[in-house]
Structure 1
Amino acid sequence: MSVGATTILNPLRPTPDTVFGILDKHQPTIFCGVPTLFAAMLHDKKFATAKGSSRLRLSTSAGEALPEHIGKAWESRFGTPIIDGVGSTELLHIFLSNAPGDIIYGTSGRAVPGYTLKLLDDAGREVADGEVGELFVKGPTAAEGYWNQREKSRQTFQGEWTKTGDKYTRDASGRYTYCGRADDMFKVSGIWVSPFEVEAAVASHPSVLEAAVVPHEDDEGLLKPKAFIVLKDGVDRDGLEESLKEHVKETVGMWKYPRWVEIVDALPKTATGKIQRFKLRDQ
């Protein structure tokens, strides 16, 4: 709005029907969504040939990490990219993001200018490239604390650094890949498993619309991945579970495949589209 553009705010539930109607009517140049909405729009048969806004030049995604297959499918169909970025209430601003001309789907991009990032292990030591660590951010927009929550403030705001609670890896070029929330990560056979990585593999199966993965105890009390999935319309369920397991094994590794697969009508989410995995862990 500061440059004279028009912003369109949708007061309704963001269904494919509603959003395609807005895109067609108002013809925006930038579209802001979340991964679950992009997936729903791509797979709604009613809008299989819809092109949305002919003026669209860019889309942005936030709320949850954008799976690689959704980003690629969107760009292939609509001819414009999705920029996936990370911000938080505590930082007020996007601090890690892909950028026009510098997009690799499946990653969260690089540090936004003005922000410094680091990954620390459980002992507070910086981790090497390729290793999993918790993301800390330093930048000018950080809050000073939570109102009347001194202990939580001390845990999150550590000097100049803000603890995000997100687990990431970083490559040699400074590009970050999301692994999951610190309290969502778990080990299988002594190896860390990223729920997001397994979810992305599950959701890339041609029969699956959405997926969420949580740890679940087997008969020996050991944690293994369990997948909750929402299927696309009209899918044949015969042999689906074994097909899904083999697909994940081939995509991300033998030990990461879900030992249990539960089909659900919908995944529990927040108002901003984040999957509430804690509700699934209790099932």
Structure 2
Amino acid sequence: MTQTNENAAVYFLDRHLAEGRSDKVAYIEADGEKRSITYGELAGQAGRFAGALYRHGVRREERIAMIVRDTLEFPVVFWGAMKAGAIPVPLNTLLSADVYEAILNDSRASILVVSEALYDTVKSAIEGNRFLRTVVVIGDAPEGTESFDQFVEGAPVEATCDACADELAFWLYSSGSTGVPKGVRHVHSSLQATCDTFGAQVLGITEDDLVFSAAKMFFAYGLGNAVSFPMSVGATTVIFSGRPTPDAVSAILAEHKPTIFYGVPTLYAAMVNAQEQAGGAPDHALRLCTSAGEALPREIGERWEKIWHAPIVDGVGSTEMLHIFLSNRPGDIVYGTSGTAVPGYEVRLVDEHDEDIKDGDVGELLVRGPSSAEGYWNRRHKSQSTFAGHWTRTGDKYERTETGRYVYCGRADDMFKVSGIWLSPFEVESALVDHPAVLEAAVVARKTDDGLEKPAAYIVLKPGASADVVGELKEFVKEKVGMWKYPRWITVVDELPKTATGKIQRFKLRDVEAV
């Protein structure tokens, strides 16, 4: 009996050739050389990259580290490695050399593919590495490295190797919002699982969509947005290697006219503020937007939809679950909530004893579904505590309303008690952002002279707003969310520390002196 090849590259890449999409444009670059590539060309180039890996002695399951910007080479390397049975490991392109050194040693990658603009940062991280055999640079190759063009030149175009659905396909490193990134291992079936659930049943993505993700392809949210979702249906994706500033993103939405846009709360807030200052109606063709990374404040969602006339589907996902598993959906959006479980997933809220809690109480969110990771690399204890049988601990605290919707309360390690009652930093942050002078806010616990924990807030003001507003913010929050929840200290800062995914790194604020 012939066994079906369940390598993910068959479904996401090879299938489109058989279904007549060889000439369909898969990717368009919005910057740089503004190149484009069809599904047929992508399949050929990925097959050639697989051939180049074989030629360089790469064996099955060897790791191929990717420090690659959002350019055409990203999907070529990602799918090419998978076609060869190797394990692509996309890495955050904004890390420091020390972190790269730790990850490259931890993953034991044998090949590193890096964008030329990032090589100077990476250079010191690879000195003395015992595992790397070849460093491939996309662009001009410095001494001791090989250019991407040289690496693939003359290599045979290889067919996709056989793989089973439960075989390891790729790794992602967690964004490190609470510390050092962890290697998260995913199997071949996980990618299609996210497409069959969130992609098909929430986004409703089709072959006719043109999509753009401000969130980069190196992490789980962006990988689904710009790689697996559009390639599951044969859609076209606009990619941008630069920094997704409000001006840059607005220009892309106006020039390329994508129908689906994927962003993060920080970007939506900045774009809303910029558009309100500019006045007029933005030029776009959006039918739907999504948000993840952190919970989207109600006010930002409502203001965005009023300006852009395109709803934002806010949801929550994780690197461990690969993409969004709890979400609002078109026609059923309540801003300020994370919606309900995505079809195909189950969620539950539990207390510290893993007992289910009643509606209105705050508990830790657990999820189970078809895209959960196989575990962490080299972190057995952490794997055992996070992956509890079929259930995955998210580390997020949530409340379920009487209507069955889930309301984000904060990370489990961000929650703290004030006057004996649990306080959600996110609730106080949302209240602060409701003030017309505040653009962003982060709240952490800080001890008083008596050793009691109270909220301390760090805020970013909107352009033109005066720091004098701090005096009225405490009363503003009291009226919004309650007398005991107001921040005892408020500090104005230029920016909040964040991961590349847009998550606020509150742990970096806990040791900062508030005023």
1:277 equivalenced with 2:481 (yes/no) = no
Task: Structure 1 unaligned segments of length 5 or more: list them.
Answer: none
Question: Contact 2:396–2:412 at 8 Å: present in 1 too?
Answer: yes
Aligned to 2:377: 147
Distance in 2 (CA, whole Å) between partners of 1:79 and 1:38 is: 14
What residue identity is the alignment partner of 2:483? M
SS of 2:497's partner is coil
Distance in 1 (CA, whole Å) between partners of 2:502 and 2:373 is: 24
What residue identity is the alignment partner of 1:39? A
SS of 2:253's partner is helix
Distance in 1 (CA, whole Å) between partners of 2:489 and 2:324 is: 36
Distance in 2 (CA, whole Å) between partners of 1:175 and 1:45 is: 30
Aligned to 1:185: 415
Find the partner of 2:399 among 150, 169, 187: 169
Find the partner of 1:197 among 417, 421, 427: 427
Find the partner of 2:486 among 235, 245, 257: 257
Distance in 2 (CA, whole Å) between partners of 1:56 and 1:91 is: 27
Aligned to 1:26: 256
What is the deviation of 1:150?
Answer: 0.7
What is the deviation of 1:3?
Answer: 3.2
Question: Contact 1:41–1:47 at 8 Å: present in 2 too?
Answer: no
Aligned to 1:36: 266
Question: Contact 1:35–1:67 at 8 Å: present in 2 too?
Answer: yes
SS of 1:243's partner is helix
Find the partner of 1:219 among 436, 440, 449: 449
What residue identity is the alignment partner of 1:244? L
What residue identity is the alignment partner of 2:304? W
Question: Contact 2:253–2:285 at 8 Å: present in 1 too?
Answer: no
Aligned to 2:332: 102
What is the deviation of 1:242?
Answer: 2.4
Distance in 1 (CA, whole Å) between partners of 2:470 and 2:323 is: 41
SS of 1:7's partner is strand
1:25-75 Cα offsets, whole Å, 9 max, x none, are: 111111110000000111126962254443111110011100000000001
Query: Please, which moves more after superposition, 158-167 or 40-49?
Result: 40-49
1:101-158 Cα offsets, whole Å, 9 max, x none, are: 0000000000011111111101111100110000011112112211121100000011
1:163-218 Cα offsets, whole Å, 9 max, x none, are: 11000001233210000000000010001110001001011111111110000111
Distance in 2 (CA, whole Å) between partners of 1:92 and 1:228 is: 31
Aligned to 2:317: 87
Aligned to 2:458: 228
Distance in 2 (CA, whole Å) between partners of 1:45 and 1:161 is: 42
Question: Contact 1:115–1:138 at 8 Å: present in 2 too?
Answer: yes
Please, what is the CA RMSD of the aligned residues? 1.3
Question: Contact 1:196–1:213 at 8 Å: present in 2 too?
Answer: yes
Q: What is the count of residue pairs matched by the alignment?
A: 282
Q: 1:164 to 1:46 in 2, by over 3 A?
A: closer
TM-score (norm 1): 0.96
SS of 1:281's partner is coil
What residue identity is the alignment partner of 1:155? S
SS of 2:325's partner is strand
